[in-house]
Structure 1
């Protein structure tokens, strides 16, 4: 077996970022050949990434990149919040946002395959998985282009909730207030017309079943009005324009006035918004931490 010097291990570590032990093993396996050892580390990292791929990654951060005409937002997930705070992890998220903004890919699969800087984002992700030891995934992204008016972003402290608002008309101060409202109140759609018809019909069936129990014996026209009223309330709660504005007082509006009224009063129009919150929609694995520690210590519960 070739003698592996500390200097050679150091050189491979600086080249690949892998751990000292992994570098030494790779050099030993390749008889001190730096290029072969680097390739082995890359292949081993891919294998480790594949092995960890089934583990739930529901923590993470958001990253935003902007160039004045468009904004990209990316969600990068990890298994633990501890890893999400690591500098390398945050750098990968930022790089993914920059690549998404530059190349405007059609899907996450297309995004991670882009080679920008010599390596694809997926290769960079796999390398980081091998180094850190946790599964991680670029889950989703959106690119929002300027629509005539201000294009603003809001990132809540901690980088867990981010918002982009593109205005067709209106001023930047209103756009920023709207972005903070969206972050806090979580509207799903812009307006009623944006809600999918199948969602409206599904909700109508639920409401009709509820009202049938509450309004037994009442005239059909009364029941119909009750259903329509509840459906309007449902639509208002999930649309930006239907929600009461959290900053109504600043615009001389009543506390229950919908955002649509504020926009009408100020001659403003929202073209599009995007709101991401880390881990939303991912079913997190529930673990018994005490049981895990006991199992690692070889203690039976």
Structure 2
């Protein structure tokens, strides 16, 4: 019962990774606000309370406590209501898991402004709004844990996901800033880059043999594999872990490096464009990174 006595908000908890994290946190003793608007993968069309209700029902059947919230993370006022739901139902808030997300994949030169803004609003702005709404309560009580979902699409790269990749890399930077700003108040902030076959990955193309092989690997990775790491990061057992980026891939757990200078070159008289071309770039080139995608870096079969 690593989370006994704690109250958690899990956004996007109506299915997939969010549902598994909500279930695991309830089993670990937390009271859970299950947040989900029940929208489509693209965030378009009608919404439904049913997915979130199902998660609440499963938690109740297993002896846990949970309430449903159907507010959107993508607006400041509704994000305030998500946090207030925890205070109204359970009297406090200790954990925020920012998991809600949508996808609107498109090759960059065809991506619309609407698709850009929609994904940024849910992922990056939504993570800020919900986190900011909880931050004052965390500060006053001198404790709290944020667990944000980033992605290797942002940390490494992927085709057709400029909006999603930008949002997910932005979340990693936001998490680090939260960790720096709120450490003095006993508040921690970490990221997970989850690997799982879920609604969020079902749009990955599987036309070529290489793409089919990648999808087959993903399908082995069930959403529940990410939940133990989220529970740990939210618990007091992780009281000295903050500002980090982790990944959960089947039975593997990774910690990611974060950008730091890799190599430098110096010229006492300063640089001209010609000198950069002739001297600096040849000296720095061995530290260049290739145009990798997530699947290129995580290319081995999950075990």
Is this a same-fold pair by TM over 0.5?
Answer: no
Question: Under a length normalisation based on structure 2, what TM-score does the superposition of the two structures give?
Answer: 0.30
How high is the TM-score relative to the length of structure 1?
A: 0.30
